[in-house]
Structure 1
Amino acid sequence: MGKRVRMSSAVILIASLLGTVGIAAAATADDAAGYGPRLEGFDYPHPVRTHAFASQRQQVEMAYLDVPPTGEANGRTALLLHGKNFCAATWEQTIAALADAGYRVIAPDQIGFCKSSKPDGYQYALAGLAHNTRGLLASLGIERSVVVGHSMGGMLAMRYALMYPDTVEHLALVGPIGLEDWKAEGVPYQPVEQVYASELRTSYDSIRDYQTTVYYAGEWRPEFERWARMQAGMYAGPGREVVAWHQALTFDMLMGQPVVYELPLLRVPTTLFIGVHDRTALGKGAAAPEVQAKLGDYRALGRRAAEEIPGAVLVEYEDLGHSPHIQDPARFHRDLLRELSR
């Protein structure tokens, strides 16, 4: 099937390249309010529920939001998968848009992230996170859903769709990472301890600088502040070592479990939403300059992925970065709802 490319017209902004192993700068107590290891102290926009289950010989809890339709119910469910530097709460405006359109919305925090358990000695795998997520939906009696994944959540959504294709009505990939194999492109291996040390240097200022450049195409607006403070608060609170360690472990997971080679195997309707100013690439800062220069070219990555995924549709945003659902929610949600309806 041929590919269709839809372009969102706007003035092109020039975003500078920025590569980091983890976002690094010296943290201070004044950077942000400090939150607990399970993001205690940060309020979500909807009641937080927990799915308790056994995993790897431990009892764990997966936090999630379950939001009913606020508009006329259409009988469909949307599963929202967050990115590595994001949480279920970051989907706040997307949840509202989907619920208003009649969807029941499920937005989990993956094990190891945000308000979910961060168990000792946990072996992280994308397939394992997908299995946990499928278990959550099964516990709620949900057989099929549209799956919307952002950043790392896009990489996880691809693995989920490969494992459970019969449960996926539509796959929406928003600035997904994993469209290139960073190791194969020349990013050197970094021991988990090295990544952990870098994560511990995370501060509000380093987060804001990185997000401005990569997430928001060089602009910063007051509405972005809450999410930067949320992330910074996890590193400023009593759980900073736990958070940093699990962030390092999940970095290692993503580096070692590419999905890019399996894109032609996807067999579900798929739409890619790509901000062409996105420059996300794991481990980029540790690579040689000539390697850094070629990583994270999302205009090229999005178009290549759309060619490889059977029947895929590509929506490009000429003026946006890694997080179009936060940077321009009205436009993104219009496009998302249109694609989910086809």
Structure 2
Amino acid sequence: MTTLRAASALLLSAALASGCVRSYRAEPPLSFQDFPYTSLQGQAWPLKRMALPKTAETYGLATVPEVAYVELNPEGPRTLVFIHGLGSYLKFWRYQVDTFAAQGYRVIAVDLPGYGKSDKPASFPYTMEAMADVVREVVLTLGIHRPVLVGHSMGGQTALSYAIRYPEEPGALVLTSPAGFERFSWKEKAWFKRVFSSVLIKSAPEYSIWGSVRQSNFSRWRPELEWLIEERVRVASTPDFDAYAYANVRTVDGLAHDDFVRDNLGHIQAPTIIVFGEDDRLIPNPFMHGGRAREIMEYGHAGIRGSQLTGLDRCGHSVQLDCPQEYNEAVSAFLKKLPASEEGER
């Protein structure tokens, strides 16, 4: 697998040099705050900010951090809260936010601390439990009753932590290629902590960004997704990228420490669907475990009573972007089976 990745990196480097794919390294810097958060038609989403005093108090932060979020169709009877994955931001739900709002759902998509347009406090712990506390504070502040938590990868592990610790609060879980099911030994956790560094993230050449995004996350890459590459390349030279890189390093360590989630899946009460790409190249970890994503997802499926397991063929890790039509259909069918929303009680 390592040899294959090295070969892919060489091919991408050659493609950049030959002009077969576009290079963005000569483009002017683009800050996180300038990222266009828009629909597929280019319409700007209404961006809001929320202070998190409870989070600041719980984790002893010197200042109260703020998170950015988007809200669509605020009068919808059932609320979907979209939680992004590692290294990404709420725009990774670009094919879902407007779609589900149009179906009548109230939609909230949040940038977690350290990511996107949210604050990036160095003193925040960046564990999945802390991330879950942030999501919960957003939910409670907005007065949302029994939200459907829709989490991708790291966001899936965040949703799992939320649902385990506060089992009566979520109305349902949509776990999208979730982290949290894979077992890591103490040696592997130590390796993650030793290997991942801010310098490594900041010094990544453009061809490796193409590889990490295009090759590792997608099975059906298409040109319309190149904004993922452009924004990642152009933001790397901006002042707040250091804080983002540090957040990533801390988060990777938090992700690896998933024993709490693995050992407590039986506490989850909410109806749950696990949707994943059968061609996921990131879960299980290709450098340590290898194997197929289905094996890992079946562990979670077996541990969560009554859960539904849906694998999508020829789809990669970022399945909601890679195969949006199939993903949206699977999630829509699951949501339609849920009991009538109780949000009128909020």
Q: Normalization by structure 2: what TM-score?
A: 0.81
> Which of 111, 118, 121 lines up with 1:119 in the alignment?
121
Q: 1:170 to 1:298 in 2, by over 3 A?
A: same
CA–CA distance in structure 1, aligned partners of residues 334 and 322 of structure 2: 19
Q: Hey, what does 1:48 align to over in structure 2?
A: 47
Q: Hey, what does 1:234 align to over in structure 2?
A: 235
> Which of 132, 142, 145 lines up with 1:143 in the alignment?
145
Following superposition, the deviation at residue 185 of structure 1 comes to 8.0
> Which of 174, 177, 184 lines up with 1:175 in the alignment?
177
CA–CA distance in structure 1, aligned partners of residues 191 and 284 of structure 2: 11
CA–CA distance in structure 2, aligned partners of residues 197 and 283 of structure 1: 22
CA–CA distance in structure 2, aligned partners of residues 341 and 130 of structure 1: 25
Amino acid at match of 1:67: L
Does residue 314 in structure 1 map to residue 309 in structure 2?
yes
Amino acid at match of 1:197: V
- SS of the counterpart of 1:206? helix
Answer whether contact 1:68 1:103 (CA < 8 A) is retained. Answer: yes
CA–CA distance in structure 1, aligned partners of residues 295 and 4 of structure 2: 15
RMSD (Å) for aligned C-alpha atoms: 2.6
Q: Show structure 2 runs of 5+ residues with no match.
A: 7-12, 14-22, 39-44, 338-346
CA–CA distance in structure 2, aligned partners of residues 208 and 29 of structure 1: 11
Q: Hey, what does 1:10 align to over in structure 2?
A: none
Does residue 268 in structure 1 map to residue 270 in structure 2?
yes
> Which of 65, 71, 95 lines up with 1:66 in the alignment?
71
Answer whether contact 1:33 1:237 (CA < 8 A) is retained. Answer: no
Answer whether contact 1:200 1:241 (CA < 8 A) is retained. Answer: yes
Following superposition, the deviation at residue 34 of structure 1 comes to 2.4
Following superposition, the deviation at residue 195 of structure 1 comes to 2.0
1:139-218 aligned at under 5 Å gives the runs 139-183=141-185, 186=188, 188-191=190-193, 194-217=196-219
Answer whether contact 1:148 1:154 (CA < 8 A) is retained. Answer: yes
CA–CA distance in structure 1, aligned partners of residues 284 and 208 of structure 2: 16
1:223-262 aligned at under 5 Å gives the runs 223-258=224-259, 259-262=261-264
Amino acid at match of 1:272: I
CA–CA distance in structure 2, aligned partners of residues 199 and 282 of structure 1: 21
> Which of 87, 102, 105 lines up with 1:103 in the alignment?
105
Q: Hey, what does 2:29 align to over in structure 1?
A: 34
Amino acid at match of 2:92: T
Q: 1:144 to 1:327 in 2, by over 3 A?
A: same
CA–CA distance in structure 1, aligned partners of residues 248 and 301 of structure 2: 29
Answer whether contact 2:284 2:293 (CA < 8 A) is retained. Answer: no
Q: 1:99 to 1:160 in 2, by over 3 A?
A: same
Amino acid at match of 1:47: P
Answer whether contact 2:189 2:253 (CA < 8 A) is retained. Answer: no
Answer whether contact 2:319 2:327 (CA < 8 A) is retained. Answer: yes
Q: 1:220 to 1:86 in 2, by over 3 A?
A: same
CA–CA distance in structure 2, aligned partners of residues 248 and 129 of structure 1: 15
CA–CA distance in structure 1, aligned partners of residues 81 and 109 of structure 2: 6
Q: Show structure 1 runs of 5+ residues with no match.
A: 1-13, 20-24, 286-291
Q: Normalization by structure 1: what TM-score?
A: 0.82
CA–CA distance in structure 2, aligned partners of residues 282 and 63 of structure 1: 31
CA–CA distance in structure 1, aligned partners of residues 163 and 27 of structure 2: 37
Q: 1:296 to 1:323 in 2, by over 3 A?
A: farther
CA–CA distance in structure 2, aligned partners of residues 31 and 181 of structure 1: 41
- Structure number with higher relative contact order (C-alpha < 8 Å, ≥ 6 residues apart): 1
Amino acid at match of 2:165: M
Identity of aligned residues (%): 26
| Greater helix proportion | 2
Q: 1:185 to 1:305 in 2, by over 3 A?
A: farther
Answer whether contact 2:171 2:270 (CA < 8 A) is retained. Answer: yes
- In the alignment of these two chains, the number of paired residues is 308
Answer whether contact 1:32 1:204 (CA < 8 A) is retained. Answer: no
Amino acid at match of 2:63: Q
